[in-house]
Structures are given as structure tokens and as C-alpha cells.
Amino acid sequence: MALMPSALEVMGDAPVIPVIVLEDVAHAVPLARALVAGGIRMLEVTLRTPAALACIEKIAKEVPDAVVGAGTVRSAADAQAATMAGARFAVSPGYTHAIGKACHDLGLALLPGVATGSEILAAQEDGYTALKFFPAVQAGGLAMLKAWQGPFGDVRFCPTGGVSAANAAEFLALANVACVGGSWLTPADAVKNGQWDRITALAAEAAKLPRPRR
């Protein structure tokens, strides 16, 4: 069994965690290999399609250099299913104690989604200090993250939602941002048409994004 990374290891591996939506299991392995070839190993496959769990299982079994995780984890049952499929981390769009406890009990690294100070406090009470800020741009963006640096100086964030190649560097320049999440590395048309070289090129550009030393 592959070792489970910590949440900080997931966020610290590369500047960007790709948010991946897969409709076809046949695309899972070549997509994962294309991203890894570009220097991106932490792959968030969202549980938004019927094929998602099968895609996670294929990547886990056939792309050993990738660290596949499950996104859009909304319940303890989702966390359990993702773990059984081979996911090594989970990302949730919000936070509940039940999700946090399930992931803790499973030994599954969790990036809980937060958008308010109260949600940060709830996650911290359960031991989580590496958090997903979602939906980042819509919930206050750079200004909100800067405001949180004071009261939540011990928390590291992965802003996701509205983050793109155009604004990723601005988020990554903040001291409390460990990485960003975004879907621009895996455009739907590129996946559908099997344009894996294009995805590798996008991943390589993302992997080069600067992050300040912390």
C-alpha cells in the first residue's frame, strides 16, 4: 500500500493542484501521465462524474509517479469510497466534523474547504491547518487571504475557484498560500481530443510558477 502524504506535503509538492473532471475512464491514465511528465504529481480527480472513482482507481494502479486524490468529497461515505479506490488525499468544498473525522480515521489527508473565519476555526478545532479556500475569487480573493494573515497566521491555504494562469502568481506571492488549485491545466477540449502534449506543456508552465521561500 502506498504511503499517505500529509496535507502539507500535498500542498507543497508543486505550485498548482489540478482540479480534474473526467467523464471517460479511458482518459484517466494518459491524462495523469501527461501531468506527471510536466512536473505535476498531486492530482485532484473530482467526484463529479459517474466515472470518477474508476478513474482514481486506474491512476492509482497504473501511474505510480502520480499521487491521486479525490475532490468534491462531501461526506464520510465519499471519503471511504475514495480511499477504497486508491485515493491518497481528499479535498472537500466545505467542512463538517463528520468529514474531518472520517478522513482522520481513514488516515486520508484532507484539504477542507473554507470560506469564512468560523469555518477555519471549526477545521482548526479538529486539527486541520492546511485548508482549501473555496470559492477563492468569489469569497474575497487576495484581500480575504491578506486579512486572514493576522488572526490565522498558522494556517496555509490552497485557493481554488476562479484561479487561473492569469492570476495564480498573485495568489502564490502571499505568505499564507502554499499552492493554488485550478482546472486550466486540463481543458475539457484537450482531454476530449487526447491532446496530451498540450496538457504536459500547461503542467510544465504551472510547475515553474514562483513561490516565495517560507
Residues annotated as catalytic are 44, 132
Cβ 160 vs Cβ 182: under 8 Å: yes
Would you call 2 exposed, middle or buried from its count of C-beta atoms within 10 A (0-12, 13-18, 19+)?
A: exposed
The sheet with strand 130-133 has its strands ordered as 113-114, 130-133, 156-159
Element counts in the chain: helices (H) and strands (E): 10, 9
β-pairing verdict for 130-133 and 156-159: parallel
Cβ 88 vs Cβ 107: under 8 Å: no
Own/partner contacts of 121-124, CB < 8 Å, gap of 24 or more, are: 122/95, 122/97, 123/95, 124/155
Q: What is the largest CA-CA distance in the chain?
A: 46
